[in-house]
């Protein structure tokens, strides 16, 4: 029996070329698919809720895939996290209808842009540094 499984996960995109698989580049999609193959012994294609550029991070990214595996969702979560690199963490695994599509069924997407007024080695992968003064109240 085929199942459709929805994953909600976070990833630090600093060392990825983006979500989508690309030849000779490391992607989030490819990394997750490799982990799923180890667990299910099936060649799986995970569908993401949208593409991301290189270096982009996600807090609640949604993807789904079809499988014949009978592994319960709570065990899937533990198994997949054990095969993923520390840059990706699956937060939630759930069975959904076979018609669910993470991209077409998305209700909304929220983008957050972080700006820092000074450089920081701790934030360099997560903020845009703008070293000039910003007048927040000024309208153009």
- 67-125 pLDDT, tens digit per residue, is 999 999 999 999 999 999 999 999 999 999 999 999 999 999 998 888 888 888 888 88
User: What is the number of structural domains in the chain?
Assistant: 1
53 in any annotated domain: yes
Note whether residue 82 is domain-resident: yes
What is the domain range of residue 39? Answer: 3-107
The DSSP string of the chain is --EEEEEEEEE-GGGSS-SS-BTTB--HHHHHHHHHHHHHSS---PEESS---TT--EEEEEEEEEE-----HHHHHHHHHHHS-TTEEEEEEEEE-TT--TTTT---------EESS--TTTTTT-EE--S---TT---
Mean pLDDT of the chain: 92
Q: What percent of the chain has pLDDT over 90?
A: 72
The arithmetic mean of pLDDT across residues 37-65, rounded, is 95
What average pLDDT does the segment 37-55 reach?
94
Residue 133 included in any domain: no
Which residues are annotated as catalytic?
Answer: 53
Q: Which residue has the higher pLDDT, 132 or 78?
A: 78
Residue 132 lies inside a defined structural domain of this protein: no
CATH code: domain of residue 90: 3.30.70.580
How high is the pLDDT of residue 139? Answer: 63
Task: Decide if 79 is inside a domain.
Answer: yes
pLDDT of residue 75: 95
In a domain, 83, yes or no: yes
CA dist., res. 13 & res. 11, Å (int): 6
């Amino acid at each position: 029996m085929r199942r459709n499984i929805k994953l909600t996960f976070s990833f630090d995109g600093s060392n990825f070329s983006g979500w989508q698989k690309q030849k000779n580049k490391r992607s989030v999609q490819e990394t997750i698919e490799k982990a799923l193959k180890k667990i299910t012994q099936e060649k799986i294609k995970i569908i993401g809720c949208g593409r991301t550029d290189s270096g982009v991070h996600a807090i609640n990214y949604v993807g789904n895939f079809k499988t014949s595996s009978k592994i319960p969702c709570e065990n899937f979560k533990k198994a997949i996290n054990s095969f993923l690199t520390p840059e990706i963490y699956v937060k939630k695994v759930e069975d959904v209808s076979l018609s669910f599509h993470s991209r077409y069924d998305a209700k909304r997407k929220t983008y957050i842009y972080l700006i820092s007024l000074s450089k920081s080695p701790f934030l360099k992968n997560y903020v845009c540094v703008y070293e000039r003064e910003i007048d927040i109240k000024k309208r153009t």
